[in-house]
Structure 1
Amino acid sequence: MKLYSLSILHKGATKSHLLKAAYELSFFSFFQRSSLQEFMTFTSALIVERTSHGSRASVKEQEYLCHVYVRNDDLSAVVIADHEYPQRVCFTLLDKVLEEFSRQVDSIDWPSGNPETINYKALDVYLAKYQNPKEADAMTKVQNELDETKIILHNTMESLLERGEKLDDLVAKSEHLGNQSKAFYKTARKQNSCCEIM
């Protein structure tokens, strides 16, 4: 899972222009990087121009997915990622970046802004932080931890059975179960034994 580009743009009446961008192109050869950067900037601007206000979209371009969010105030952001990167995390990143950018950079500077003159330095940090969606996004991290917990619980149950212990023996020896519960277990076990797959 990789993020290649994170851009903030202003959507004008006919044309959009770049306000700030960050790129992670170390995955490509040195000689391809400048062309790829130009292509990603061009693609981001084109997608913003063709996306309506108040919209989010994902656009496939060759082996990349371009995720765009164009706000009603003309501020827009695009992230270019590979196909494996989770879409929800991309849109979370776009929301966060646009919200922070709009607080730090005056909206008067958006239509005429220039990447060299706009003072917003967080894009490189976000691009690096979000390279691992499990660490950057709390929901993804929690889901991953829950998945690991399920696997650990499943493995623990399997390891009990692998040691040669039978559940019937554990129930019979249990101090936590009363005689009535033990009898109920035996009855249920007998009734379900006809349904077991050999």
Structure 2
Amino acid sequence: MKLYSLSVLYKGDSKVHLLKAAYDLSSFSFFQRTSFQEFMTFTSQLIVERSELGSRASVKEREYLCHVYVRNDGLAGVVIADNEYPPRVCFTLLEKVLDEFSSQVSRIDWPSGSPSTITYEALDGYLSKYQNPREADALTKVQAELDETKIILHNTMESLLERGEKLDDLVAKSEVLGLHSKHFYKTARKQNSCCKIM
């Protein structure tokens, strides 16, 4: 999973202005980096230009996904990521960046702004932090931990079965379970045995 670009743009009446951008071009060769950066800037501007105010969209371009969020006030954000990166995390990032940007940069500067005139330094930090969606996004982190717990649980049950022990034998040998619990287990086991798929 990889993020390549994070851009903040302004969609005016006649033109889209790039206000600020951050790029991670480390996966491209040195000689290709300038071309890829220009391509990402061009693509970001084109997507914002073709998007309606108040819309969110994901656009596929070869092995990349471009996620765009254009607010009703014309402020827009674009994330370019690979196909594996979770779109939900991209839109969370865009909303966070645009809210922060609008609170730090005066709206008067948006129509005439450019990367050299706008002072907003947080994009590089966000691009770096969100490279690992599990660490950056709490919900993704929790889901990953649940998936790992599930794998560990399956591995534990498989290792029990691999040793040749059967749950029925363990219940029969147990000194902790009372007679009623053992009887309940055996009855439940018999009732559920009719439902096995062959």
TM-score range, shorter chain: over 0.9
Checking the alignment, whether the CA contact within 8 Å between 1:53 and 1:72 is kept in structure 2 is yes
Q: Look up the match of 1:89.
A: 89
Amino acid across the alignment from 2:2: K
Q: Look up the match of 1:9.
A: 9
Whole-angstrom CA distance in 1 between matches of 2:145 and 2:192: 34
Q: Look up the match of 2:29.
A: 29
Q: Look up the match of 1:72.
A: 72
Classify the secondary structure of the residue corresponding to 1:65. Answer: strand
Q: Look up the match of 1:105.
A: 105
* Unpaired segments ≥5 residues, structure 1: none
**Distance change (3 Å), C-alpha of 1:189 and 1:75:** same
1:155-184 deviations in Å (ceiling 9; x for gaps): 112222222322122212324422122122
Classify the secondary structure of the residue corresponding to 2:85. Answer: coil
Number of residues of Structure 1 aligned to a counterpart in Structure 2: 198
Amino acid across the alignment from 2:3: L
Classify the secondary structure of the residue corresponding to 1:57. Answer: strand
Q: How does 1:16-165 map to 2 (within 5 A)?
A: 16-165=16-165
TM-score (norm 1): 0.93
Question: CA shift at 1:191, angstroms?
Answer: 4.8
Whole-angstrom CA distance in 2 between matches of 1:105 and 1:129: 22
Amino acid across the alignment from 2:173: K
Question: CA shift at 1:193, angstroms?
Answer: 4.7
Amino acid across the alignment from 1:33: R
Q: Over aligned residues, Cα RMSD in angstroms?
A: 1.6
Classify the secondary structure of the residue corresponding to 1:76. Answer: strand
- Between the aligned residues of both structures, percent identity stands at 81
Checking the alignment, whether the CA contact within 8 Å between 1:14 and 1:49 is kept in structure 2 is no
* Unpaired segments ≥5 residues, structure 2: none
Whole-angstrom CA distance in 2 between matches of 1:77 and 1:85: 17
Amino acid across the alignment from 1:139: L
